[in-house]
Amino acid sequence: MASEGRDALVNRQHAAVVVVVAWLILTSPWIAMLRRVPGGAGFFDYSHLVLGFVALALSITYPLACLRATGWRLYFPWLSGNMGAVGRDLAGLVRGTIPTAEGGGLFAMIEGLLLVALFVTAISGAAWFASRGGDAALAWRSVHIVSARGLAGLVVLHVLAVASHLLDFLR
């Protein structure tokens, strides 16, 4: 019963991460902030700030829930020196084989990188906000933009991985 509750929590957090990150990425072209929140900030600016702090909370709680459910070795095989499954998945991709979703490997590593990218993006956004108006604001903005682009790229890889499994399941 406890694992069912934990799974439900992880699923709800995943849904929240999907909605928040999608909104933040898709509306980011309309953000008009450099050193600080501009005087004439609009809906997209303020929604980005509010949801950015929601993303910060999720970037801490969601990985903890995921890691508690499966363990850190699944998502971070390079930290445990267990890159064998990832190597097999990459070799399989070259041969046209879709990697498995279970047992670690490439897709789990992409998920782990997503967790890290979400955290780095959220932290850099919060640091940018905290340094508003200061000299460090533009540096934090640059870090935030680079990490957000990395997050977006990993989201695309994650969606492709999920789609490949759905296609494989339907066959």
C-beta separation of 105 from 89 below 8 A:
yes
Give the residue-averaged pLDDT of 64-83: 88
Write down the mean pLDDT value for the chain: 91
96-133 pLDDT, tens digit per residue, is 888 877 778 999 999 999 999 999 999 999 999 999 87
pLDDT in the model for residue 70: 79
pLDDT in the model for residue 116: 97
9-54 pLDDT, tens digit per residue, is 899 999 999 999 999 999 999 888 877 788 888 999 999 999 999 9
CB atoms within 10 A of CB 137: 19
Q: Is the pLDDT of residue 89 over 60?
A: yes
pLDDT in the model for residue 95: 93
pLDDT in the model for residue 4: 82
pLDDT in the model for residue 36: 79
Q: Is the pTM of this model over 0.75?
A: yes
Distance separating alpha carbons of residues 119 and 159, to the nearest angstrom: 19
156 or 9, higher pLDDT: 156
Q: Is the pLDDT of residue 1 over 60?
A: no
pLDDT in the model for residue 61: 96
Amino acid identity for residue 144 in this structure: H
